[in-house]
């Protein structure tokens, strides 16, 4: 994607002073929640697929019709405590929720529009108040997604071409009257924020984006901005939606993935990634030096899908035992191996065995170091190993099965190990 090319963390050289928590966190929860969650991928009896939060655009729903969805949006099952607790149980260290997506609806109490959850719905409450508090109580960094350019509700917002003429739009006016004041509200009304997650930039030159960013920095200098603020001005890099880079990337970065195939809730999408698949993504992200922020799509009542709850809790169980191989690690030294990937801490390689060889033997090529010990992270059980030339061969315990979540082998060593990837 073109936004990736605008970013080069190695050349900028300066990192945000508060970036370390993000680098160590590795696993975050993304939440897409808005009026589209109420529609659940269906409009006038027709089913839409792909991304539930795009339904207004996909069905070209006029603003006057879309507005009416707010009148039936009443998420009485929302429980900030339960959502934050799920993130904690899943082992997630940060949470980013949609304050306003492209549909233009504000999921928080805003003075700058009536099209928000307090003014326009029968629910009449601001769910972000309790969610931000409950996340904070659990030591989970809390952040907002904010669609800074696309706003399909506003005549001057980006990308609604079915109601409004592009040639008549005044983007400067939209930024001044809605995006900037709302971002100020988000940065001043919900305590300390970990992240503002901007998406799809537009309507501003590089200089204007700099001014935009600088004007917001003053409210919370410690708050990180995602790279999709545009023009290379974010504090860490995001790849494309559901994209994992195939090799190690230096500098702070994050991959974002859907849990099923949609960000916003879709009632007919059951294609949820299993705990095995989630741990696979998490291990691969960490092995390449980055984070995984996995999405949750609650429905219009405020319920998180059962699959998501159950699968995330299983991942959390795995992390309780194997978290040492994920949190606070840096990229692995071994690159992609037939059996999986690795992550690093000083004097340690954590081998994530994602595909168990039939003979249970893990080959580590070119690993010529002094080994102190090699053990399974689950239970600290010592493993048998042998050196063959420069290679190291570790034997998994007999009877460990392919079906279980990935086994982590720890190599505790002294010396300088070779980096096997570019």
Point out which residues bind ligand H79 (CB under 6 A): 50-51, 53-54, 58, 199-200, 241, 256, 263
- Under 8 Å between Cβ of 373 and 382: yes
Query: How far is the C-alpha of 235 from the C-alpha of 255, rounded, in Å?
Result: 14
d(CA 239, CA 4): 6
CB of 131 to ligand H79, least distance (A): 18
Write down the least CB distance from residue 290 to ligand H79, Å.
Answer: 16
The residue ranges of DSSP E strands in 32-156, in sequence order, are: 42-43, 46-47, 94-100, 141-146
Phi, psi (rounded to 5 degrees) for 21: -60, -40
Q: Pick between residue 256 and residue 409 the one whose CB is nearest to ligand H79.
A: 256
Nearer to ligand H79, 54 or 339 (CB): 54
Q: How far is the CB of 147 from ligand H79 (least distance, A)?
A: 8
How near is the Cβ of 50 to ligand H79 at its closest, in Å? 3
- b/e map of 359-387 (b: 16 or more CB within 10 Å)? eeebebeebebeeeebbbbeeeeebebee
Phi first, then psi: give them for residue 84, nearest 5 degrees.
-65, -35
CB of 151 to ligand H79, least distance (A): 12
Q: Exposed (0-12), middle (13-18) or buried (19+): which is 257, by Cβ within 10 Å?
A: buried
Cβ at position 266, least distance to ligand H79 in Å:
11
Please identify, using beta-carbon distances, which residue of 55 and 140 lies nearer to ligand H79: 55
The distance of closest approach from Cβ of residue 306 to ligand H79 in the complex, given in angstroms and rounded to an integer, is 23
Torsional sign, CA 326, 330, 334, 337: positive
Residue whose CB is nearest to ligand H79 in the complex, by number: 50
Minimum separation from the CB atom of position 23 to ligand H79 (A): 21
> Which of these, 284, 288, 271, lies nearest to 422 by C-alpha position?
288
| C-beta closer to ligand H79: residue 98 or 337 | 98
Pick 60 or 345: Cβ nearer ligand H79:
60
41 or 127: CB nearest ligand H79: 41
Q: Which is nearer to ligand H79, 54 or 94 (CB)?
A: 54
CA–CA distance from 381 to each of 60, 362, 373, 385 (Å)?
59, 16, 10, 13
Please state whether beta strands 42-43 and 237-238 pair in parallel, antiparallel, or not at all (unpaired).
Answer: unpaired
As a three-state string, the secondary structure of 176-202 is HHHHHHHHHHHHHHCCCCCEEEECCCC
Report the residue count for the chain.
Answer: 422
Nearer to ligand H79, 256 or 276 (CB): 256
Q: Minimum distance from CB of 32 to ligand H79 (Å)?
A: 6
Pairing verdict, β 340-345 and 330-331:
antiparallel
Alpha-carbon Rg for the chain, nearest whole angstrom, is: 23
Nearer to ligand H79, 57 or 337 (CB): 57
């Amino acid at each position: 994607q073109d936004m990736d090319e605008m970013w080069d963390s190695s050349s900028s050289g300066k990192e945000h002073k508060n970036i370390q928590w993000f680098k160590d966190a590795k696993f975050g929860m993304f939440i897409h929640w808005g009026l589209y969650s109420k529609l659940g991928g269906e409009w006038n009896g027709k089913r839409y697929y792909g991304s539930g939060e795009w339904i207004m655009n996909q069905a070209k729903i006029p603003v006057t019709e879309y507005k009416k969805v707010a009148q039936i949006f009443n998420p009485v099952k929302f429980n900030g405590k339960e959502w934050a607790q799920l993130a904690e149980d899943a082992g997630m260290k940060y949470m980013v929720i949609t304050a306003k997506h492209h549909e233009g609806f504000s999921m928080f109490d805003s003075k700058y529009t009536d099209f928000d959850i307090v003014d326009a719905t029968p629910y009449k409450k601001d769910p972000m108040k309790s969610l931000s508090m409950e996340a904070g109580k659990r030591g989970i960094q809390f952040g907002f997604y904010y669609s800074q350019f696309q706003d399909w509700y506003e005549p001057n917002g980006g990308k609604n071409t079915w109601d409004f003429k592009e040639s008549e739009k005044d983007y400067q006016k939209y930024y001044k009257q809605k995006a900037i004041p709302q971002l100020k509200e988000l940065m001043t009304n919900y305590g300390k924020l970990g992240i503002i997650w901007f998406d799809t930039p537009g309507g501003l030159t590089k200089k204007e984006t700099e001014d935009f960013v600088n004007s917001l920095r003053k409210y919370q200098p410690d708050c990180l901005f995602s790279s999709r603020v545009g023009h290379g001005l974010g504090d860490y890099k995001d790849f494309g939606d559901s994209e994992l880079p195939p090799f190690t990337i230096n500098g702070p970065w994050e991959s974002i993935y859907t849990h099923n195939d949609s960000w916003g809730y879709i009632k007919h999408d059951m294609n949820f990634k299993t705990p095995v698949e989630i741990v696979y993504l998490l291990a691969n992200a960490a092995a390449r030096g980055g984070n995984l922020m996995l999405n949750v799509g609650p429905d219009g009542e405020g319920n998180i899908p059962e699959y998501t709850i159950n699968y995330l809790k299983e991942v959390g169980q795995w992390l309780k035992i194997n978290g040492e191989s994920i949190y606070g690690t840096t990229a692995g030294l071994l690159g992609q191996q037939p059996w999986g990937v690795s992550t690093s801490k000083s004097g340690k390689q954590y081998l994530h065995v994602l595909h168990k060889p039939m003979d249970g033997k893990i080959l580590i090529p070119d690993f010529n170091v002094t080994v102190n010990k090699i053990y399974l992270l689950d239970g600290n059980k010592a493993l048998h190993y042998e050196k063959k030339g420069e290679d190291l061969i570790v034997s998994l315990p007999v009877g460990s099965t392919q079906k279980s979540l990935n086994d982590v082998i720890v190599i505790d060593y002294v010396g300088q190990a070779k980096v096997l990837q570019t």
